[in-house]
Structure 1
Amino acid sequence: MKNSQLYKGSLNTIIMKLLEENGRMYGYEITQKVKLITKGELNITEGALYPALHKLEADGLLDVEVEKVDNRMRKYYKLTESGEKETVNRLNELEEFIKNMQSLVSPSPNPDLQF
């Protein structure tokens, strides 16, 4: 993606939506899922992902489960009950934002809007 700044404000919502759909995921799995869904257009770096995951956890929106996989510890993230509710709120906010942006960049002719 040429301007990933556009995605920065939505990163937490993207993470929460993926966790809502998949139950629980580990960090690398989240980055690969985003890459797959966006056909490589959006690559989330570890430097962006892990601070976002830690903030969501600190805010009580995520739980962390640690499991041993192939002789190493892996952290799995999943939504808490309040995280599930907040995901709905954030997705609604994002949908409203997208609608407003579409109205601004592709306005339909409206004779009532005369300046």
Structure 2
Amino acid sequence: MSVRVHRVYDPPGPDDGVRVLVDRLWPRGVAKDAAHVDEWPKGLTPSTELRRWYHADEGSYEAFAERYEAELAAPEAVELLDHVRELAREGDVTLLTASKSPEESHAAVLLRLLDGA
């Protein structure tokens, strides 16, 4: 069992396991049936305000990650994060994002939190 991050634009792989979209907005140009998304926990995504702040280049990735982790302390996010942890205990999980740089996105923060649990 493992957790990994892939871009939602990449084709699904045979070892993806449960595919979890971790973006608040549906990715442009991707048909829902082609994405093979099993779960879409919008409450686990960064707030609109945080997302806009980060994409406007107003702060560093480290500052974004810190603010995002603070948002993930909210009860709904904690519950959803625990759910994804449980999925990972049962098998493979692939976190899907439309981010051009998944290694400097909220998906990387989620991956780090899930790997550390």
Higher relative contact order (CA 8 A, sep 6+): 2
Greater fraction of residues in helix? 1
Greater fraction of residues in strand? 1
Q: TM-score range by the shorter chain?
A: under 0.3
Point out the structure with max Rg over C-alpha: 1
TM-score normalised to structure 2 length: 0.24
